[in-house]
Copies of this chain bind each other. A is one copy, B any other.
Amino acid sequence: MAKAPKTAISPTRADDYPQWYQEVIKAADLAENSPVRGCMVIKPWGYNLWENMQRALDDMFKATGHQNAYFPLLIPMSFLEKEAEHVEGFAKECAVVTHHRLEPDPDGGLRPAGKLEEPLIIRPTSEMIIGATFAKWVQSHRDLPLLINQWANVMRWEMRTRMFLRTAEFLWQEGHTVHATEAEAVEETERMIDVYADFAENWMAMPVVIGSKTAAERFPGAVDTLSIEAMMQDRKALQAGTSHFLGQNFSKAQEIMFQAESGEREHAWTTSWGVSTRLVGALIMTHSDDDGFVLPPRLAPQHIVILPIYRDDESRAAVVEYAQSLKKELEAQRYADAPVRVMIDDRDVRGGEKKWHHVKRGVPIRLEVGPKDIEKNAVFMGRRDQPKSIGVGRDELVSTVADILSDIQQTLFDRALKLREDNTVTITDEKTFRDFFTTKDENTIHGGFAYCHFADEESIEPLLKELKVTIRCVPRDNNDTPGTCFATGKPAAKQAIFAKAY
């Protein structure tokens, strides 16, 4: 047996995918656990990535007519009592604020004091407080559509957490819109899932399928939940964004009414949609490899790192000067409507260590510059998506850098798409379905996407539970050919995607 090549990340994906994921986060300096259970510290490299995601999404939201606003972190407990009345066995895992002061405890240390008349909860979503506000803002058809987005932190008391994918506190955006007609609200729901798909594919280089959730998987209270579903490298699905058509359900519960042109008072039609720091987790699991993180150029905090290589102070001066002038020249180039982002790593660290530092952090292009390169007016270029570094002339590099970045972006998308296509099957019988999803090891690979016609969600639920498989979505596009249910043989109008999932 050939000896496996040494990798920067241990364990590898093939050895233990969940542990590999944690190690990539650590090696790439993206985040770390905090002293508060389930909450993370997002480190500068990870946060810069999130900022780039925010900027791109925010521009898309504004281009589609939305405005940002900010609503309070805390929500009175009574706002949830209405919801509780309708939910059997209601129990909400959330952070509850009961006091407004700390004071010395006579037994030592501190204790909570100043008990609140009404407990407050930290928003798990702002749905309810925004709804109550919209009920005041919306009076007439002239106030519609109302297209609001909020960037905020939210909190859900999760028992099992995993960095970026499921944390107690996370960062997200939540869009909330109000419309005069059903058709406009449906159109908005579709528009925003298309925005998410556009962002996922063209910025994250992550192919997604758009579809509707089935009744059992739908957001509670939604008439229709659209989602984008991506395949991770372990063949599991990850829901990367959702857009909900809420009909008049929320406007009735929250009394969001408007005077129509006819003069009648009517209940409005609402939507909501969101993505979160979970996308960072999705990005990591889509592109990273056994050497660490791999960043799609459009979202990379830095496109290029220049590594000056020198032996002594004399050669250092020349090399650093060359690096600086090269940086300036590259920064004058534009890629994807923005200047190329370049950093020089001139830390006093061994060359090999320095190189691997940036490999693990996923920088798309590394340029090594030493005295010999200067003589040849060239650099030694390593692309993060390719195993070997190559020599390239300085002028050629500068004139083609945008193309190289485009090519890396496209290569990452193509690889992710190929992985998905190679692991997507159509299944028409239960035996094949069982085989596809039966895995020996929880920590490696998990079937893939199975397109299956299905007649009725309830009757297949025991099978799905047994195999730990879920219906990801009923794809929106190219899904009009009827067939028979893979499990019951009954006639079925549509296919759904079945997969194990995060």
Could you list which residues of chain A lie within 8 angstroms of chain B, going by C-beta atoms? Answer: 34-36, 39-44, 47-48, 50-51, 67-81, 84, 90-104, 109-114, 119-122, 129, 132-133, 142, 148, 152-153, 155, 157, 169, 171, 347-349
18 more CB-based (< 8 A) A-B contacts, given A36-B72, A81-B109, A93-B114: A35-B129, A39-B72, A43-B69, A44-B68, A44-B69, A48-B67, A48-B68, A73-B122, A80-B102, A84-B104, A91-B101, A92-B102, A93-B101, A96-B98, A96-B99, A96-B102, A98-B98, A100-B157
Given A142-B348, A157-B100: A95 touches B110 (CB 8 Å cut-off):
no
**Alpha-carbon distance A39/B126, docked complex (angstroms):** 14
| Residue from A51, A68, A96, A120 having most chain B Cβ neighbours under 10 A | A96
Cross-chain contact A110 with B94 (CB below 8 angstroms): no
Cross-chain contact A35 with B348 (CB below 8 angstroms): no
Cross-chain contact A120 with B95 (CB below 8 angstroms): yes
* A40: chain B residues within 8 A (beta carbon): 72
Closest chain-B Cβ to A57's Cβ sits at a distance in Å of 14
Cross-chain contact B121 with A122 (CB below 8 angstroms): no
**Alpha-carbon distance A43/B69, docked complex (angstroms):** 5
* A100: chain B residues within 8 A (beta carbon): 93-96, 157
* A35: chain B residues within 8 A (beta carbon): 72, 76, 79, 129, 132
**Alpha-carbon distance A75/B142, docked complex (angstroms):** 45
Cross-chain contact A95 with B94 (CB below 8 angstroms): no
17 contacts between A and B (CB under 8 A): A35-B132, A39-B72, A39-B73, A42-B69, A47-B68, A77-B102, A77-B110, A91-B101, A91-B102, A91-B103, A91-B113, A94-B100, A96-B102, A101-B157, A114-B157, A122-B122, A152-B153
Cross-chain contact B74 with A39 (CB below 8 angstroms): yes
**Alpha-carbon distance A43/B150, docked complex (angstroms):** 11
| Residue from A47, A68, A70, A93 having most chain B Cβ neighbours under 10 A | A70
Cross-chain contact A99 with B102 (CB below 8 angstroms): no
* A148: chain B residues within 8 A (beta carbon): 44
Q: Please name the residue on chain B nearest to A55 by beta carbon.
A: B55
**Alpha-carbon distance A51/B55, docked complex (angstroms):** 12
Partner of A97 from the list B34, B97, B111, B153 (CB cut-off 8 Å) is: B97
* A44: chain B residues within 8 A (beta carbon): 67-69, 148
By Cβ-Cβ distance, the 10 closest A-B pairs, closest first, are: A44-B67, A39-B72, A42-B70, A96-B99, A100-B157, A96-B112, A92-B102, A34-B72, A95-B97, A98-B98
Cross-chain contact A169 with B92 (CB below 8 angstroms): no
* A97: chain B residues within 8 A (beta carbon): 95-98, 122
* A75: chain B residues within 8 A (beta carbon): 36
Cross-chain contact B74 with A36 (CB below 8 angstroms): yes
* A47: chain B residues within 8 A (beta carbon): 67-70
Given A102-B77, A102-B80: A68 touches B93 (CB 8 Å cut-off):
no
Cross-chain contact B48 with A133 (CB below 8 angstroms): no
**Alpha-carbon distance A423/B73, docked complex (angstroms):** 40
Closest chain-B Cβ to A195's Cβ sits at a distance in Å of 19
**Alpha-carbon distance A206/B76, docked complex (angstroms):** 38
Cross-chain contact A110 with B84 (CB below 8 angstroms): yes
Q: Please name the residue on chain B nearest to A67 by beta carbon.
A: B44
* A79: chain B residues within 8 A (beta carbon): 35
Closest chain-B Cβ to A87's Cβ sits at a distance in Å of 9
**Alpha-carbon distance A95/B123, docked complex (angstroms):** 14
* A70: chain B residues within 8 A (beta carbon): 41-42, 47, 50, 171
Partner of A71 from the list B34, B94, B99, B133 (CB cut-off 8 Å) is: B34
Cross-chain contact A41 with B93 (CB below 8 angstroms): no
**Alpha-carbon distance A97/B79, docked complex (angstroms):** 18
* A51: chain B residues within 8 A (beta carbon): 68
**Alpha-carbon distance A44/B69, docked complex (angstroms):** 5
Cross-chain contact A98 with B112 (CB below 8 angstroms): yes
Closest chain-B Cβ to A121's Cβ sits at a distance in Å of 7
Closest chain-B Cβ to A36's Cβ sits at a distance in Å of 5
**Alpha-carbon distance A48/B148, docked complex (angstroms):** 12
Closest chain-B Cβ to A95's Cβ sits at a distance in Å of 5
Cross-chain contact B98 with A169 (CB below 8 angstroms): no
**Alpha-carbon distance A101/B156, docked complex (angstroms):** 10
Cross-chain contact A112 with B102 (CB below 8 angstroms): no
Cross-chain contact B73 with A153 (CB below 8 angstroms): yes
**Alpha-carbon distance A169/B152, docked complex (angstroms):** 13
* A72: chain B residues within 8 A (beta carbon): 34-36, 39-41, 169
* A81: chain B residues within 8 A (beta carbon): 109-110
Cross-chain contact A142 with B74 (CB below 8 angstroms): no
**Alpha-carbon distance A119/B44, docked complex (angstroms):** 28
Closest chain-B Cβ to A119's Cβ sits at a distance in Å of 5
Q: Please name the residue on chain B nearest to A91 by beta carbon.
A: B103
